[in-house]
């Protein structure tokens, strides 16, 4: 449920409900909806995140993702997205499963987040249920559900709400589940009790993610240049060919890339998710590259219905598959020589 921004107004602090009690009940409800972590903070601009975003955009590190540069104010100030917002409820959902990739060169590896059903719908449905509950408890309450496709800096909000810290690879890291978590927000027009404790940065002197990135996409700690990122190139880039730096260093990745997370020491604390919809679909951990090249528009739509993998589009996925097969063929020829 996403409410039109012109039809609601904020409920001021003096409204007739116990903020502390409602906050406690809201957090309990979020956990009962299946979220592992929840924090609540004021709907105010994140000045630090705003400044870092502008610097990142100024370097051109967003590549072809032009939408990132549209109204950066909205990405760090939820009141630009939902003017009535007074509180931001931030949740995290663990998506780790026990499956593992293989190194079969006839297949392409898929990023873990896309193994199961589309997280937008899985997390979004739980947030919509949470919104429906709060509206039953407080009829004047209205809100907006945000899960990745809305212009919210999810990881920055999660760090602000004390769910974890943003690591040197720029992913959110939690002490309980590592970095295998989805983040979403519920913007509400009611004032609540707010969390003020932040999780300290525990990356320390570790540079494993930086050292492991085969394309040197992590240009410096806490900064990723999308133009060099395998995940960006295989999902977001619409060019007919992958950049040489990426094409030569795919290391088997067809869709996305988890290298920086796979090497992160904090992911030794990973736990298997209790969400059945995140369990890998058949053939979604490693995908047969020949099968990808045989897909038609119709079979592609059927194969990836309800999957986050449709983000890459058929042309992009087949481009990636061709690149992997060409790289493997060239490697075999060199071995024969």
What tens-digit pLDDT sequence spans the chain (337 residues)?
333 333 455 555 445 579 999 999 999 999 999 999 999 999 999 999 999 999 999 999 999 999 999 889 999 999 999 999 999 999 999 999 999 999 999 999 999 999 999 999 999 999 999 999 999 999 999 999 999 989 999 999 999 999 999 999 999 999 999 999 999 999 999 999 999 999 999 999 999 999 999 999 999 999 999 999 999 999 999 999 999 999 999 999 999 999 999 999 999 999 999 999 999 999 999 999 999 999 999 999 999 999 999 999 999 999 999 999 998 888 766 666 5
- 211 part of the active site: no
Backbone angles phi, psi at 187, to 5 degrees: -90, 130
Direct distance between the N- and C-terminal alpha carbons of the chain, in angstroms, rounded to an integer:
61
pTM of the model: 0.92
**Buried b or exposed e, range 216-247, using 16+ CB within 10 angstroms:** ebbeeeeebbbbbbbbbbbbbbeeeebeeebb
Spatial CA neighbour of 8 closest among 138, 186, 192, 188 = 188
Gap between the Cα atoms of 162 and 172, Å rounded: 11
The tokens describing 323, both together, are 């690149």
Exactly one of 47, 71, 118, 148 is catalytic; name it: 148
Per DSSP bridges, beta strands 172-173 and 223-224 are unpaired
Give the pLDDT of residue 57.
97
Element of type H or E holding 186: strand 181-188
- Show the DSSP H helices in the chain as ranges: 19-32, 47-58, 72-76, 78-81, 119-137, 154-160, 208-212, 230-235, 244-247, 259-262, 289-293, 297-303, 313-336
Is the torsion defined by CA of 246, 252, 254, 258 positive or negative? negative
Spatial CA neighbour of 264 closest among 167, 182, 199 = 167
Give the pLDDT of residue 15.
53
- Walk me through the domains of the chain, giving residue ranges and CATH numbers: 19-102+116-188 (3.40.109), 208-336 (no CATH)
Give the pLDDT of residue 270.
96
Give the pLDDT of residue 17.
77
Gap between the Cα atoms of 251 and 245, Å rounded: 12
């Amino acid at each position: 449920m996403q409410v039109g921004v012109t039809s609601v107004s904020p409920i001021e602090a003096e409204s007739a409900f116990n903020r502390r009690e409602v906050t406690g009940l809201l957090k309990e409800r979020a956990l009962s909806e299946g979220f592992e972590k929840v924090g609540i903070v004021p709907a105010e601009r994140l000045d630090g995140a705003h400044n870092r975003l502008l610097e990142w955009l100024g370097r051109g590190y967003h590549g072809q993702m032009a939408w990132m540069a549209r109204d950066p104010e909205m990405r760090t100030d939820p009141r630009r997205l939902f003017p009535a917002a007074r509180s931001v409820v931030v949740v995290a959902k663990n998506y780790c499963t026990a499956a593992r990739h293989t190194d079969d060169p006839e297949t392409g590896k898929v990023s873990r987040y896309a193994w199961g059903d589309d997280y937008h719908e899985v997390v979004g449905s739980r947030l919509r249920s949470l919104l429906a509950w709060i509206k039953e408890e407080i009829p004047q309450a209205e809100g907006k559900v945000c899960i990745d496709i809305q212009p919210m800096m999810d990881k920055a909000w999660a760090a602000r709400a004390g769910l974890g810290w943003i690591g040197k690879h720029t992913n959110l890291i939690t002490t309980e589940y590592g970095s295998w978590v989805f983040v979403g927000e519920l913007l509400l027009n009611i004032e609540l009790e707010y969390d003020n404790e932040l999780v300290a940065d525990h990356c320390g002197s570790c540079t494993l993610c930086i050292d492991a990135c085969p394309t040197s996409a992590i240009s410096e700690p806490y900064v990723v240049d999308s133009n060099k990122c395998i995940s960006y190139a295989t999902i977001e880039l619409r060019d007919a060919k992958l950049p040489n730096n990426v094409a030569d260093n795919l290391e088997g990745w067809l869709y996305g890339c988890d290298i920086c997370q796979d090497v992160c020491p904090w992911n030794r604390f990973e736990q298997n998710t209790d969400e059945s919809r995140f369990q890998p679909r058949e053939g979604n951990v490693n995908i047969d590259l020949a099968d990808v090249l045989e897909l038609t528009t119709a079979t592609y739509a059927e194969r990836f219905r309800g999957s986050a993998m449709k983000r890459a589009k058929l042309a992009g996925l087949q481009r990636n598959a061709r690149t992997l097969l060409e790289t493997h063929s060239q490697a075999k020829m060199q071995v024969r020589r």
